[in-house]
Amino acid sequence: MLTAVAILIDGLGFAAWLFLSSVGLTLIYGVMRILNIAHGGFYALGAYSSAWAIGLYMQTGSSVAFTYLLIPLMAIVVGLVAGLIIERGILRFMYGRDEVLMVLVTYAIFLILEDATKLIWGTESLVAYQPAYYLGNIEIFGIPYTVYKFALIGLAVLCGAVLWWGLNRTTTGKLLLVVIEDREVSSALGINVTLFFSATFVIGTTLGALGGAVTAPQISVVPGIGAEVIVMAFAVIVIGGMGSIGGAIIGAIFVGFARAVSVHLYPPAELFSIYLVMAAVLAIKPYGLFSLAQGRKI
């Protein structure tokens, strides 16, 4: 029973982190057909800026409570600044090019961002644990869990719900779905596709940065964290179906629980459990569980 509950909580906790870290990636792919490797760089920028800001703020001796506003604020700043610069400064000149070329372009951006984080914050690790500790612990069957972990699960649910509502219950969201379906027809119908691209990229970047920003208090923020997350995020969206928000939720849950089950029941399998799930899903559904329907144009 104890192990089952631990698997449930750990699986949900890891799935929440995976969803927050990968939803921006799948959103950008769904709308722009760009497999954005630079997403890992945005995650790292979010983590660094959050840890740095928390560190500066805590030196003032003020209450930790304000850091819960500081974290999303830094993610928004990173999303707006980095997202706009990269989309307006680089990507808009590449639209319409082959998807593989876009992978190379975003990989180059990722490498630039990796070096940029080192130039800005150096190579020393940043530690900003206060927000993760401040909320305290909850004991479940005698095992302590940080409340912060449950807050992240709540945040992931909130993000998923807002995205679903935004896409399905607002006019802008419905227009975006049209752009996802067929950008040429959308353009012909008078939808400003370029504006949607810019807005989507900034939102995707902000979500990537948010993933890093909320993770920062739980980890040691070191160079290279972006490279680690992009692999996991890629696994999640491939399982769920690239471009599908619902797929990202299901993919995150699959991967989260696969990892939790292996850690608790058979730790040696932890390393490849994620890829085992990915291989099993792709063997049955080669384009992922919720892949977008591909219309054939004649």
Partner 1 sequence: MFQDRLLKKGLLASVMASAFVVSAFSSSAVAEDKKEVKLGVVTFLSGGAAGPFGIPARNAAELLIDAINKGQLPGAYSSVGLAGAQIAPIFVDENSKQKVADYKKLVQKDEVDAVIGYISSGSCKAIAPVAEEEKKLTVFFDCGTSQVFEDIITSPKYVFRTSAHATMDNVAAARYVVDTVKDVSTYSGINQNYAFGQDSWRDFSGSMKVLKESAKSVSEQFPKVFAGQYGAEISALLTKKPDIVHSSFWGGDMEALVIQGGGRQLFSRSKVVLTGGETGIERLGSQIPDGTIIGARGPNGPLAEDSALNDWFVKAYVDRFKSLPTYPSYHMAQAILGVKSAADKANSTDQAATIEAFKGLEFEVPSGKISMNLAGGHQATQGTAFGTYKFDKASGKGTLVNIKRYNAACVNPPEGMKSLEWIESGFKGAVCK
Binding site for partner 1 (CB under 8 A): 2-3, 6-7, 9-11, 13-14, 17, 114-115, 118, 122-125, 127, 129, 132-133, 137, 143-146, 149, 215, 218-225, 227-228, 259-260, 263-264, 267-268, 270-271
Of the pair 10, 87, the CB lying nearest partner 1 is at: 10
Of the pair 145, 164, the CB lying nearest partner 1 is at: 145
Give least dist CB 227 to partner 1, A: 7
Q: 206 is written with which tokens?
A: 């902000």
Give least dist CB 146 to partner 1, A: 5
**For the chain, give me the number of helices (H) and strands (E)?**
12, 4
Q: What is the rounded distance in angstroms from the CA atom of residue 115 to the CA atom of residue 24?
A: 22
The answer to whether the beta carbons of residues 288 and 244 sit under 8 Å apart is yes
Q: What is the rounded distance in angstroms from the CA atom of residue 277 to the CA atom of residue 280?
A: 5
Give least dist CB 209 to partner 1, A: 17
Q: What is the DSSP string of 154-200?
A: HHHHHHHHHHHHHHHHSHHHHHHHHHHH-HHHHHHTT--HHHHHHHH
If one counts every other C-beta atom within 10 angstroms of the C-beta of residue 255, the result is: 27
Of the pair 95, 133, the CB lying nearest partner 1 is at: 133
Q: Which of 213, 228, 206 is nearest to 27 (CA)?
A: 206
Amino acid, single-letter form, for residue 77: V
Give least dist CB 151 to partner 1, A: 13
Give least dist CB 31 to partner 1, A: 29
Give least dist CB 229 to partner 1, A: 9
Of the pair 11, 204, the CB lying nearest partner 1 is at: 11
Of the pair 124, 184, the CB lying nearest partner 1 is at: 124
| DSSP 8-state secondary structure symbol assigned to residue 292 | P
Of the pair 187, 218, the CB lying nearest partner 1 is at: 218
